[in-house]
A and B are shown apart, each in its own frame.
Chain A
């Protein structure tokens, strides 16, 4: 690595741990699964060892449809670090999945100025490295 390259910070990469490794493994397979509570059927995200609603430890990793709508968003013009400088403007959003959970993400495959709250979107994956694929969303056809 050259001196000039070492001064460009890298993008934040999620850390894999006991509680989220199945989630990241499902994203890596491009087939996202979320936790569904075995006691109360509540879908949860972010990954958690316990149900946010009923406090049960029992759950199943369950495939989701990958469909949702934009709950809210912001078009980022000023990058948070040099690592994102090439990509502005881009869309940071929270997508409300069909199953219920809210997922922070990026909206891709559309001009940022075209994104609206309520836009129907579907998941697409950005392979970051061998362990991590980030779930992003694009307009439904």
Chain B
């Protein structure tokens, strides 16, 4: 086995997750997740010499959360300390920075954390309050998109409609993603929504922005996630088995719908567009670094903000051919007892959306450690964790492996 064993996730922690946690501040939730991760890693706060924190986004955003949390925790001194403002792709890049800092010898234990009280920003699935944040949050064009009244999810709905048009994907196929995530959430005591649902439940839920109905869309809620990334030497002393980071990658194309739909100027549209994402770049790099094949992956933790997203990521990450994501997610293949279980925690659709996508990396570590209880994928050795932002157009992925 020549796999990279220089950097590992050695500790993971979460707060409770709920639609609303009125009695606790967002910092309280973040600190609960941080202390839980530190304890899981078998270290004290004084062992931490790096902090890479999510900037948060929207009204939860603070470009210097790293200062706030560092001061609240009393974590000094550090040799790396920053916040990352990459929206949904933040966790994968936090992990990259931790990995590079550790590989270079700069750090030994890097703390990564995120959390939010999204309930305070409005109710429902990326609802009114959340939408109001977008006017001060120019990840999507304020001048040329928002005057026409899209919800954030409308961009993804337009992606889904184009995918249906080009490849014959059906709403039933997208609904299979929501059904799988809910089934897995039913096995996860921490998940917010645990009652199993059917394809018909998704199709019959109320329409939000076609082709999406309510159950195609993630929740907003309160919660926090943290993990500790450590050097090999430190990882070997840790109480939990290490989840080695054996590969990672990034891929970024367009943010604005105009350029995303049009593809890259002067190049063939077939390179990247609304339904051909730069997840391909991130995946190709991560798999090449890890030296593994797609079929070696035992569990996939993908961004399921909306049901189209994992379906398309299975294509762009190379688990199936472009256009075959619809048939790929059907028939139980992505369920716990299938070929490639998706989002065993329950995902953004059914477990937790606060600390968006951070839980994918925590769950990947727990799966290869064998700590997932009822939702454990038997004998899971390799997990792929993804994080995506933009309109499914900016990606950071990592591949974790057991010893």
Q: Which A residues fall within an 8 A CB radius of B?
A: 9, 11-15, 20, 40, 42, 44-46, 51-54, 71-82, 84, 87, 90, 92-94, 96, 100-106, 117-118, 128, 134, 136
B374 proximal to A (CB < 8 A): no
Residues of A within 8 A of B144 (CB): 14, 45-46, 103-104
Given contacts A45-B258, A92-B150, are A76 and B128 in contact (CB under 8 A)?
Answer: no
Contact call B158/A9, Cβ cutoff below 8 A: no
Residues of B within 8 A of A134 (CB): 147-148
Q: List 10 A-B contacts (CB under 8 A).
A: A46-B256, A53-B266, A74-B210, A78-B124, A78-B208, A82-B128, A90-B149, A94-B257, A102-B259, A106-B149
B157-173, CB under 8 A of A: which get 1 and which 0?
11111100100000000
Shortest Cβ distance from B258 into A: residue: A102
Among A73, A74, A128, residue most surrounded by chain B Cβ atoms (within 10 Å) = A74
B43 proximal to A (CB < 8 A): no
Contact call B142/A117, Cβ cutoff below 8 A: no
Sorted from nearest, which 6 A-B pairs have the closest CB atoms? A74-B157, A53-B265, A72-B162, A12-B146, A75-B210, A102-B261
Shortest Cβ distance from B159 into A: residue: A72
From B157, B161, B210, B259, give the contact of A117 (CB < 8 A).
B161
Seed contacts A46-B144, A46-B258; 7 additional CB < 8 Å A-B pairs? A14-B147, A46-B259, A52-B259, A74-B158, A74-B160, A80-B151, A103-B258
B291 proximal to A (CB < 8 A): no
Given contacts A12-B142, A74-B154, are A94 and B258 in contact (CB under 8 A)?
Answer: yes
Alpha-carbon gap, A90 to B147, bound state (A): 13
Q: Which B residues fall within an 8 A CB radius of A?
A: 124, 127-128, 131-132, 135, 141-151, 154, 157-162, 165, 206-212, 256-259, 261-262, 265-266, 274
Alpha-carbon gap, A104 to B266, bound state (A): 21
Given contacts A76-B154, A77-B208, A81-B128, are A105 and B257 in contact (CB under 8 A)?
Answer: no
Alpha-carbon gap, A13 to B143, bound state (A): 7
Contact call A104/B145, Cβ cutoff below 8 A: yes
Alpha-carbon gap, A76 to B152, bound state (A): 11
Alpha-carbon gap, A104 to B124, bound state (A): 25
Alpha-carbon gap, A94 to B90, bound state (A): 28
Residues of B within 8 A of A74 (CB): 150, 154, 157-158, 160-161, 209-212
Contact call B258/A104, Cβ cutoff below 8 A: yes
Residues of B within 8 A of A92 (CB): 148-150, 154, 158, 209
Alpha-carbon gap, A9 to B135, bound state (A): 12
Contact call B274/A101, Cβ cutoff below 8 A: no
Alpha-carbon gap, A51 to B144, bound state (A): 18
Residues of A within 8 A of B209 (CB): 74-78, 92
Alpha-carbon gap, A20 to B142, bound state (A): 13
From B135, B143, B157, B258, give the contact of A20 (CB < 8 A).
B143
Q: How far in angstroms is the closest Cβ of chain A from B123?
A: 12
Contact call B149/A117, Cβ cutoff below 8 A: no
Q: How far in angstroms is the closest Cβ of chain A from B129?
A: 9
Shortest Cβ distance from B261 into A: residue: A102
Residues of B within 8 A of A136 (CB): 148
Alpha-carbon gap, A44 to B256, bound state (A): 13
Q: How far in angstroms is the closest Cβ of chain B from A101?
A: 7
Given contacts A46-B258, A77-B209, are A15 and B143 in contact (CB under 8 A)?
Answer: yes
Contact call B148/A105, Cβ cutoff below 8 A: yes
Contact call A80/B150, Cβ cutoff below 8 A: yes
Contact call A79/B143, Cβ cutoff below 8 A: no
Contact call A102/B262, Cβ cutoff below 8 A: yes
Residues of B within 8 A of A82 (CB): 128
Contact call B128/A12, Cβ cutoff below 8 A: no
Q: How far in angstroms is the closest Cβ of chain A from B157?
A: 4
Given contacts A79-B149, A106-B148, are A72 and B274 in contact (CB under 8 A)?
Answer: yes
Contact call B135/A12, Cβ cutoff below 8 A: yes
Among B135, B143, B274, residue most surrounded by chain A Cβ atoms (within 10 Å) = B143
Alpha-carbon gap, A20 to B144, bound state (A): 11
Alpha-carbon gap, A76 to B217, bound state (A): 14
Given contacts A80-B150, A94-B257, A134-B148, are A73 and B265 in contact (CB under 8 A)?
Answer: no
Alpha-carbon gap, A73 to B127, bound state (A): 20
Residues of A within 8 A of B162 (CB): 71-72, 117
Alpha-carbon gap, A44 to B188, bound state (A): 49
Alpha-carbon gap, A87 to B132, bound state (A): 18
Contact call A78/B149, Cβ cutoff below 8 A: no
Alpha-carbon gap, A105 to B51, bound state (A): 42
Alpha-carbon gap, A105 to B158, bound state (A): 12
Alpha-carbon gap, A44 to B259, bound state (A): 9
Contact call A84/B149, Cβ cutoff below 8 A: yes
Alpha-carbon gap, A111 to B359, bound state (A): 42
Contact call B128/A102, Cβ cutoff below 8 A: no
Contact call A71/B149, Cβ cutoff below 8 A: no
Given contacts A87-B149, A106-B149, are A46 and B161 in contact (CB under 8 A)?
Answer: no
Contact call A73/B161, Cβ cutoff below 8 A: yes
Alpha-carbon gap, A110 to B388, bound state (A): 35
